[in-house]
Amino acid sequence: MKHVLKIFSLLLVISALWIGLLQASILPQSHTWLLPIYFIVSLGCYGLLMVGVGLMRFPTCPQEALLLQQDIAEAKGFLKQSGVDVGCK
Amino acid sequence: MEQKNKYSIIVPTYNERLNIALIVYLIFKHLRSRDVDFEIIVVDDGSPDGTQEVVKQLQKLYGEDHILLRPRPKKLGLGTAYIHGLKHASGNFVVIMDADLSHHPKYLPSFIKKQLETGASIVTGTRYSKGGGVHGWNLMRKLTSRGANVLAQTLLWPGVSDLTGSFRLYRKSVLEDVISSCVSKGYVFQMEMIVRASREGYHIEEVPITFVDRVFGSSKLGGSEIVEYLKGLVYLLVTT
């Protein structure tokens, strides 16, 4: 099934549940009408939270830059000896 | 009967005269000692800086059976560079990686090991997992990257943590299959590849990699790139 169809079916199920709640009057009508808004806002907040947490825990590797420089020096040394042109750019 | 595996490493280049020599040295350093059968396919798009001359010198040093130079007349795009390289690949596995040293060849053994352990069809490098990482990104860049990733995960459920990464190992037949149905350009192309592969049900594994961004002339992420990305997301949402 195409991915977008999966998302549509999910939204359809959620809408059906919402309409069911409206009709069954388990919760006060005024609250039920606002449920979609709550849902969208919670989704937005969850997204922002994920971005924030991910940003805080973003993996960095400063030591890799140093290791890379060492590798470059080693490579340049070998290649120069072997006759490959690695002249400074 | 054990079939010996051969790995074709496709490296598209444009004006990478110095980096291509360094990368070839590092690939040999990390693979030769492990008894891995490999070849490096350099797809150069007519670089004016003499990249192809350097590759020819490397061929003299390392052998033409290990370094294949398959140039093209001018800049023709990344996707077609891979297709071009694929035509000349004699291995049963294909690795794609960038030539600018943001992808370090020292991770090649871990890609190979992961594939052998799990029998996966694709092993993709991820910068966002534990053990991986990025260096050279400022806060704004990290924010954009993280925001883009959360959006893509929410919309596409791709099954991989790093969608735009381009350091990957593919089973050759799988790459041929997936690449034929991809039409995007640039990094959206990388996203399209992995999302289509995921939809097809191919077994995809990840290994953490570190990514050191170019020290000089670091690519800026402008408004137009963001628009391209969003367009790409919607395209992938609707067509995969």
Q: Does B161 touch chain A (CB under 8 A)?
A: no
Residue A66 lies in a domain: no
Considering its fold, how many domains does chain A have in total?
Answer: 1
Predicted pLDDT of residue B40: 95
Residue pair B36/B28 in contact (Cβ under 8 Å)? The answer is: no
B208-230 per-residue burial string, b: 16 or more CB within 10 A, e: under 16: bbbbbeeeeeeeeeeeeeeebbe
Q: Which residues in B lie closer than 8 A to residue A10 (C-beta atoms)?
A: none
What mean pLDDT is predicted for residues B65-84? 90
- Nearest neighbour of B104 by CB, restricted to A59, A68, A86: A68
| A8 within domain boundaries | yes
Domains of chain B are 6-239 (3.90.550.10)
Task: Tell me how many residue pairs between chain A and chain B have CB atoms under 8 A apart.
Answer: 94
- Considering the domain boundaries, does residue A88 fall inside one? no
- C-alpha A78/C-alpha A76 separation (Å) is 6
Q: Among residues B102, B122, B120, which one has the least CA distance to residue B16?
A: B102
A81 domain-assigned? no
Is B221's pLDDT higher than 70?
no
Q: Does the beta carbon of A60 lie under 8 angstroms from any beta carbon of chain B?
A: yes
Asked if the C-beta of B143 comes within 8 angstroms of chain A's C-beta atoms, the answer is yes
Q: Tell me whether residue A35 is in a domain.
A: yes
Query: Taking Cα atoms as reference points, which of B38, B46, B32, B29 lies closest to residue B8?
Result: B38
Helix (H) or strand (E) holding B129: none
Question: What is the per-residue pLDDT across A32-51, written as a single tens digit (0 to 9) for each?
Answer: 788 888 889 999 999 999 99
Contact B178, B184 (CB under 8 A): no
User: Any chain B CB within 8 A of the CB of A72?
Assistant: yes
With respect to residue A70, please indicate whether it lies within any of the assigned structural domains: no
> Is residue A21 in a domain?
yes
Chain A partners of B217 at a C-beta cutoff of 8 Å?
Answer: none
Give the confidence band of B215 by pLDDT, cuts at 50, 70, 90. low
Structure confidence at residue A89 as a pLDDT band (50, 70, 90): very low
- Closest residue, chain A, to B235 (C-alpha): A4
Whether A72 and B54 lie within 8 Å, measured CB to CB: no
Site from B24, B210, B233 to mutate, A interface, most A CB atoms within 10 angstroms: B210
Q: Which residue of B has its CA nearest to A58?
A: B128
- Are B206 and B160 in contact by the 8 Å Cβ rule? The answer is yes
Q: pLDDT tens for residues B77-110?
A: 888 899 999 999 999 999 999 998 889 999 999 9
Give the per-residue pLDDT at B178: 93
Percentage of residues of chain B with pLDDT beyond 70 = 96
Q: CB–CB of B240 and A2 under 8 A?
A: yes
**B34-62: pLDDT as tens digits:** 889 999 999 999 999 999 999 999 999 99
Residue B129 has pLDDT above 60, yes or no: yes
Domain ranges, residue A17: 1-58
Residues of B in contact with A55 (CB under 8 A): 139, 142-143, 146
Contact B149 A54 (CB under 8 A): yes
Task: Give B73→chain A minimum CA distance, Å.
Answer: 23
Establish if A84 touches chain B: CB-CB under 8 angstroms: yes
Average pLDDT, chain B: 90
> CB B89: neighbour CB atoms within 10 A?
23
In a domain, A80, yes or no: no
How much is the pLDDT for A41?
94
The string of pLDDT tens digits covering residues A5-35 is 888 898 899 888 888 888 877 777 777 788 8
Taking the Cβ of residue A33 and every Cβ of chain B, the question of whether any pair is shorter than 8 Å is answered with: no
What is the least distance, in Å, from the CA of A15 to any CA of chain B?
Answer: 19
Q: Which residues of B touch A86 (CB under 8 A)?
A: 18, 21-22
B219: pLDDT strictly greater than 70: no
Residue of A nearest to B30 (CA): A71
Q: Indicate if ipTM > 0.85.
A: no
DSSP state of B77: -
Which candidate, B57, B62, B82, places its Cα nearest to that of B72? B82
Mutation target to probe the B interface, by most B beta carbons within 10 A, among A84, A88, A89 is A84
